[in-house]
Each structure stands twice: as structure tokens, then as C-alpha cells.
Amino acid sequence: MLTRSEEDHLKAVFALLQDGESAFTKDIAARLSTKASSVTDMLKKLAEKGFLKHEPYYGAKLTAKGTAHALTLVRKHRLWETFLVERLSFGWDEVHEVAEQLEHISSPKLVDRLDDYLGNPRFDPHGDPIPDRQGKLRVRKTKRLDTCTTGDTVRIAAVSETTDGLLRLLDSKGLRIGSVLTVQELHAFDGSMDVKPKSGAAFSLSKDVSHHLQVESN
């Protein structure tokens, strides 16, 4: 059994590895708002328990066991978010903290029943894929909005950074998962782009925003 803190560290490692390279001590610490030395302690413990490999000074890599456990956490987190939004009418921008607590509830039966109750959803309210019972992640072929070019018409599939600020900004523009929009113009000097939603007036999105929107071709 893992403690809540151990699970948080495991999830942080998993999340960092998802985004590309190694998970470094300082990045894990930043993500969890703790200090590097605390992270080192934890990495040693998790390595001893067989959830990851810790290469001192070169970060951590997950073992199969660690990946499997991290996926159950992601599964729980996203299922609870789905429950909160779809059944309890929470806004998609206010579910994160609560799901952060709920994901640590330990009851395999509960997770699977919840999954069935929600109709075995494939994606959560942010458009992120929900691992299935076996821990398989179904991925979609998406690209970042900031890699699109003029004329592309795409559907928003996911938001990769779920900060309150970004989520509220999107909400204020009327954007959500599934929104369809066309790229109208690219501004090279600051990376911003003008986009036009299917219905409504065009507006501008900064690079900061478009970088975090995963889209699929329409």
C-alpha cells in the first residue's frame, strides 16, 4: 500500500515522463510544492518498493509496476472528474482539487462500479483519455493548436494545462472540449493566432493559450 504522499510523487513522475523526457528532482518538487531533498527521500523509498528506478543525479524512470499504479491513479482522477461534471454539475474548471482528493480513495470495486455507472467514458471533461480497467490508455492523434496553419479547421480535443486561469479564459471565449474553429491568421512576431469559432466572431489567442490546446482535424 502506498501513502497519499507516495502516490502524489508517483503521479508527478508519471506526468513528467508523459510530457517527454526524464523526471528530474527539481521538477517533481516544483509540481508538488515541496523541496528537492524531500523528493530525493521519496524517490529512494519508491525505488525500494519497486515502483521506479532512481538514477541519482539523472532523475527517475517508472517500472512496469509503477506505471500500472500511476495509471490507476489517473483513471480514478479522470473518472471522478467526469462524475463531478456530468452528474453533479460542477464546472470543468472547479473539479481538479476535489478529484485530487478522491483519486486516493482505495477500493477497486468502487472505481469499476463508478466507471460502469458513468457508461465507461473514454475521455474526461478536459478531453483527456481515461485508462480502462486494464490500465490501457486510448490515445487520439491530436496536435497542438499552435502547430496549425492558416485555414486549418479543427476540433478542440483536450486542454493540456488545467490551471484555473486557462480554463476560465477558455470559458469566457465560449470554448470547450468539442468546439470547432478555423485558424484565420498567424502572427509570427508573438506567436499569437486569430481563430474563428464555427458560430460567432473571430478573436485572438496568445501562444500561451494555443500551445496548451490539443486539437484534432475536423
- What three-state secondary structure class fits 126? coil
Residue 217 contacts which entry, a second copy, DNA, none (Cβ below 5-8 A, type-dependent): none
Instruction: Find the shortest distance in angstroms from Cβ 206 to DNA.
Output: 25
Instruction: Find the shortest distance in angstroms from Cβ 3 to DNA.
Output: 3
By CB under 7 A, which span of 19-27, 76-84, 121-129, 144-152 interacts with DNA? 19-27
For residue 122, the cross-strand partners are none
Instruction: In the chain, count H helices and then E strands.
Output: 8, 8
Instruction: Find the shortest distance in angstroms from Cβ 91 to a second copy.
Output: 10
Nearer to a second copy, 106 or 150 (CB): 106
The 34-63 site mask, x for binding DNA (CB under 7 A), equals xxxxxxxxxxxx--------x-xx-x----
Nearer to a second copy, 108 or 174 (CB): 108
Instruction: Find the shortest distance in angstroms from Cβ 81 to a second copy.
Output: 12
What is the C-alpha to C-alpha distance for residues 46 and 38, in angstroms, rounded to an integer? 12
- Residue 159 C-alpha cell reads as 486542454
What is the C-alpha to C-alpha distance for residues 70 and 108, in angstroms, rounded to an integer? 14
Distances (CA, A) of 76 to 55, 87, 135, 205: 29, 16, 11, 32
